[in-house]
């Protein structure tokens, strides 16, 4: 999937009015993804959402353009990531996840900066920068020219980034993301060092994919003699 839809959402006030009542009824943990064009916008969102007990944590999307630094994504600069995380950590005690972009030279450096600044967990990866053309019109197929590539094609890249983060941060919880189109792909992320997985575009053709993964994990563990999911990544640690 190659998309340039942005981060479409109804806005903070509408989210509070329409989504919070619904989320408060769910018997599960709720994590809110937060984005912004400046650190102040992230702070404003988290401060307001801190008032609601149904929210258990925040995922900071650092792939957003930073308007104060020429539009460069927050996640491409470890110092800026650290400033963002430190600012948010000061105003909330809830679980803080930083979702990292793969479009960097050293993702481990960015991940280390986030953890040192107070992140509880890292999520990797966000989409890969991509583009394509319509050869008839000779123009890019996306109105934004470039967009985010996701789906099975990015799985090898995602696994490598998760592996890099695990080597650099052996004790930090990591959520593996990217190319999970079937339950076996989730196992690959765990083998690379992830503690959990997040499914995105894989749900378009298979809406129940998360349930399939949950059902498959105990079967895999039983077949290969693992006492629990956490032991799957321990194979990589031991090897």
Distance of CA 95 to the CA centre of its chain: 14
Instruction: Tell me whether residue 188 is one of the annotated catalytic residues.
Output: no
Catalytically annotated residue among 54, 64, 121, 188: 64
* Nearest alpha carbon to residue 175 among 33, 68, 37: 33
Q: Just list the catalytic residues.
A: 64
């Amino acid at each position: 999937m190659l998309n340039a839809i942005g981060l479409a959402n109804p806005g903070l006030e509408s989210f509070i009015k329409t989504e919070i009542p619904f989320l408060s009824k769910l018997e599960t943990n709720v994590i809110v993804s937060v984005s912004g064009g400046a650190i102040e916008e992230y702070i404003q969102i988290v401060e307001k959402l801190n008032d609601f007990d149904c929210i258990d944590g925040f995922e900071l999307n650092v792939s957003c353009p930073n308007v104060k630094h020429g539009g460069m994504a927050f996640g491409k600069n470890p110092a800026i990531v650290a400033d963002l995380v430190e600012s948010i950590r000061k105003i909330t005690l809830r679980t803080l996840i930083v979702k990292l972009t793969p479009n960097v030279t050293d993702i481990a450096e960015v991940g280390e900066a986030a953890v040192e600044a107070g992140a509880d967990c890292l999520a990797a990866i966000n989409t890969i920068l991509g583009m394509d053309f319509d050869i008839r019109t000779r123009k890019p197929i996306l109105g934004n020219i470039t967009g985010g590539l996701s789906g099975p094609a990015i799985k090898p890249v995602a696994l490598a980034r998760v592996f890099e983060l695990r080597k650099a941060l052996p004790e930090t919880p990591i959520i593996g993301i990217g190319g999970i189109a079937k339950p076996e792909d989730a196992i690959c992320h765990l083998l690379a060092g992830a503690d959990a997985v997040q499914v995105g575009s894989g749900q378009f053709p298979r809406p129940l994919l998360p349930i399939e993964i949950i059902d498959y994990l105990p079967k895999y563990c039983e077949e290969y003699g693992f006492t629990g999911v956490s032991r799957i990544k321990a194979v990589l640690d031991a090897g």
